[in-house]
Amino acid sequence: MSRALEDPTNPLPPGATVVLITAHVTERTQATLLRLHSAGHRVHVLKTSDREWTRDLGPIPITEMAATMEVLEEEAYAAGMARPLRVSDL
């Protein structure tokens, strides 16, 4: 994710808004998001996991989406649009 966000051959336009939808933030992604925020980009994270994060994103807003994601996943399973991931799928 960090590489894509900071790709010099395809830079973000000045003032671009970055919305990251993720269950986990790595140290590298944390640093990238903070750099982009410091450079004047609007950055927002939609957190899809209810696990505690150890990464501090400082001034970057984080919206908790785990409960919403669980409802959407259950609806997708019920409609036959998706199936639960099993260990054998990994």
Q: What is the pTM of this model?
A: 0.79
pLDDT tens digit string along 19-64? 999 999 999 999 999 999 999 999 999 999 989 999 999 999 999 9
Domain boundaries, the chain: 2-81
Beta-carbon contacts of residue 77 (< 8 Å; ≥ 6 apart): 83, 84
Cα 53 to chain center, whole Å?
Answer: 12
